[in-house]
Amino acid sequence: MKGLPRIGVNGTSRIMTDVFNGYHNALKISDGEWQYTENLSTRNYPMLSPRGLRGTVGQLVDPGGLLEKDALAYVDNGTLYYNDLATGLNTLSSGEKKMVSMGAVLCIWPDKKYYNTADGTFGSMEADFSSTGNVEYRMCRSDGSEYSSVSTGSTAPAQGSCEVWIDTSGSSPAAMEWSTSEGGWTLIPAMFTKLKFSSMGQIPQQFKANDGVSISGADFEDANGEKVIYSLGGSEENNDWIVVVGMLESNMTQTTGSVRIQRKIPPMDFVIECQNRLWGCFYGNDGTQNVNEIYCSALGDFRNWRQYQGLSTDSWAASVGSDGVWTGAVNYLGHPVFFKENVIHRVTISSVGAHQIDETICRGVQKGSSKSLQVVNETLFYKSRYDVCAWQGGFPESASEALGDKRYFEAVAGAFGGRYYVSMKDESNAWTLFCYDIARGIWMREDALHAFCFAKVDDELYCVDADSKKLLALNGTTGTLESVVSWEAVSGIQYYEYPDKKYISRFNIRLSMDEGASVTVYLQYDSDGVWIPSGLVQRTGTGTVTIPFRPRRCDHMQIKLEGRGNARIFSIARILEVSSDR
User: Percent of the chain at pLDDT above 90?
Assistant: 77
Cα gap 157→133, rounded to integer Å: 36
Residue 26's Cβ-count burial label (10 Å; 0-12, 13-18, 19+) is middle
The model's pLDDT over 356-365, given as tens digits with 9 standing for 90+, comes to 999 999 999 9
User: Percent of the chain at pLDDT above 70?
Assistant: 96
Q: What's the distance, Cα to Cα, between the start and end of the chain in Å? A: 15
pLDDT at residue 232, rounded to an integer: 97
Asked whether residue 7 carries a pLDDT value surpassing 50, the answer given is no
Mean pLDDT of the 443-448 span: 97
Least confidently predicted of 160-174, 291-305, 318-332, 376-390: 160-174
Tell which residue, 200, 206, 218, has the closest CA to residue 258.
218
Cα gap 386→399, rounded to integer Å: 11
The model's pLDDT over 181-198, given as tens digits with 9 standing for 90+, comes to 888 899 998 899 999 999
pLDDT at residue 540, rounded to an integer: 67
Cα gap 209→211, rounded to integer Å: 6
Q: Tell me which long-range contacts 173-177 makes (C-beta under 8 A, separation of at least 24).
A: 173/247, 173/249, 175/139, 175/247
Least confidently predicted of 6-15, 367-376, 453-462, 471-480: 6-15
Cis peptide before 548 (omega within 30 of 0): no
* Stronger pLDDT, 76 or 8, i.e. the higher one: 76
- Please state the length of the chain: 582
Cα gap 152→139, rounded to integer Å: 12
CA atoms within 13 A on the CB side of 385: 10
The model's pLDDT over 112-168, given as tens digits with 9 standing for 90+, comes to 999 999 999 999 999 999 999 999 999 999 999 999 888 888 999 988 888 999 998
- Domains of the chain (ranges; CATH) run 11-53+486-578 (2.60.120.260), 128-263 (no CATH)
DSSP string computed for 276-300:
TEEEEEEEEE-SSSEEEEEEEPBTT
Mean pLDDT of the 427-456 span: 97
The model's pLDDT over 31-51, given as tens digits with 9 standing for 90+, comes to 899 999 999 999 999 999 999
Range ranked top by mean pLDDT from 74-88, 165-179, 567-581? 74-88
Asked whether residue 419 carries a pLDDT value surpassing 50, the answer given is yes
Distances (CA, A) of 463 to 85, 90, 483: 18, 22, 19
CA atoms within 13 A on the CB side of 421: 26
Question: Which uninterrupted H or E stretch holds 457?
Answer: strand 451-457
pLDDT, the chain, mean: 92
The model's pLDDT over 342-359, given as tens digits with 9 standing for 90+, comes to 999 999 999 998 999 999
3-state SS track over 346-394? EEECCCCCCCEEEEEECCCCCCCCHHHCEEECCEEEEECCCCEEEECCC
DSSP string computed for 317-353:
EEE----S---EEEEETTEEEEEETTEEEEEE--TTS
Amino acid at 297: S
**CA angle, 546 as apex, 543 and 551 as ends, to 5°?**
155
Mean pLDDT of the 52-76 span: 95
Three-class secondary structure of residue 431 per DSSP: strand
Tell which residue, 374, 295, 370, has the closest CA to residue 340.
370
Cα gap 405→410, rounded to integer Å: 17
The model's pLDDT over 223-236, given as tens digits with 9 standing for 90+, comes to 999 999 999 999 99
How many helices (H) and strands (E) would you count in the chain? 1, 56
pLDDT at residue 582, rounded to an integer: 38
Query: Could you tell me what percentage of the chain is helix, strand and coil, using 3-state DSSP and rounding each to the nearest 5?
Result: 0, 50, 45
Cα gap 20→204, rounded to integer Å: 65
Question: Which uninterrupted H or E stretch holds 204?
Answer: helix 202-206
pLDDT at residue 331, rounded to an integer: 97
